[in-house]
Amino acid sequence: MRAVILISGRGSNMEALLRANLPVEFAAVISNRPQAGGLAIARSLGVETIALDHTVYGADRAAFDAALAAEIDRLRADLVCLAGFMRVLTDAFVQRYQGHMLNIHPALLPAFPGLDTHARALAAGVKIHGCTVHFVTPEVDAGPIVVQAAVPVLDDDTPERLAARVLAQEHRIYPMAVRWYAEGRLHLGADGRVRVDAPRLPESALISPNG
Ligand code: GAR
């Protein structure tokens, strides 16, 4: 199984994937921002990096996405992992990889799609927050859900503290999902439903606050 990881920034989820000893050959890490910190991390781990600067394409999203698809196809990737890739993709691009493209989002979707999820979760007063791995579909942050992890929201949380608690869980569930995919245990059905062949957890609940 060959995969590529798309990033825009620091690349901590990318690093979690690269270090997870997955049965995956990571063919390359591609960033739309040449300055992304994650590129140096990927290189230090022996992974090919490609900077595909979206600003060169101006407002022409289709041209950027066509260049991106050309790279992914040249690399013969079976799976595309979006890991902090902060760019909306065209419908044509998404449809080309439908069922073969995963994203990690820092909220319990369908709550808090989009940006600033942690500040918005605090403002909404939710007591449980978390992260989601989902298949990518044309509607942003709305694709079929693969796996989620939940964390408590604490009274003295700041967006930064909450983000750190969620990020630790992102680094757990994204490698899990990619492993399931690589092992042929995760599929997106033609009916749009996710099928995961994973061990069932004993039933338990996260209650927050739990006093
Ligand atoms: C992560 O928290 C990821 O969930 C989020 O950006 C961060 C990237 O951090 N992604 C999105 O918000 C996608 N809409 P990283 O570069 O250290 O993995």
Residue to probe by mutation, ligand 1, list 104, 139, 165, most atoms within 8 Å of CB? 104
Please give the pLDDT value at position 181. 98
Q: Ligand 1: does its nearest atom lie under 6 Å from the Cβ of 31?
A: no
The pLDDT of residue 108 is 98
Closest ligand 1 atom, residue 114 Cα: 14
Distance in angstroms (rounded) separating the CA atoms of residues 188 and 193: 6
Cα 59 to middle of ligand 1, angstroms: 23
Phi-psi region of 101 (alpha: psi -120 to 50; beta: other; left: phi over 0): beta
What pLDDT, on a 0 to 100 scale, did the predictor assign at position 25? 98
Q: How far apart are CA 3 and CA 75, in angstroms?
A: 9
Query: What class is the 105-211 domain?
Result: alpha beta
pLDDT value, residue 199:
86
Dihedral sign for Cα atoms in the order 25, 65, 188, 83: positive
Per-residue pLDDT of the chain (211 residues; tens, 9 = 90+): 999 999 999 999 999 999 999 999 999 999 999 999 999 999 999 999 999 999 999 999 999 999 999 999 999 999 999 999 999 999 999 999 999 999 999 999 999 999 999 999 999 999 999 999 999 999 999 999 999 999 999 999 999 999 999 999 999 999 999 999 999 999 999 999 999 999 888 899 999 998 7
Which of 5, 39, 87, 105 has most ligand 1 atoms within 8 Å of its beta carbon, as the pocket-test mutant? 105
For ligand 1, what atom is nearest to the CA of residue 38?
16
Q: Which of 105, 129, 134, 171 is catalytic?
A: 105
Q: For the chain, where do the domains classified as CATH 3.40.50.170 start and end?
A: 1-97, 105-211
In the prediction, which pLDDT does 201 show?
A: 86
pLDDT number for residue 156: 96
pLDDT tens for residues 122-147? 999 999 999 999 999 999 999 999 99
CB 78 within 8 A of CB 3: yes
Is 134 in the active site? Answer: no
pLDDT at residue 39 in the model: 98
* CA–centroid distance, residue 31 to ligand 1 (Å): 13
Q: Please report the pLDDT score of residue 211 as a whole number.
A: 73
Q: Is 151 left (phi over 0), alpha (psi -120 to 50) or beta?
A: beta
CA of 103 to the centre of ligand 1 (A): 9
Considering the four listed CATH numbers 3.40.50.170, 1.10.10.10, 3.40.1360.10, 3.40.630.10, the one that applies to the domain covering 1-97 is: 3.40.50.170
Ligand 1 centroid to 76 CA: how many Å?
25
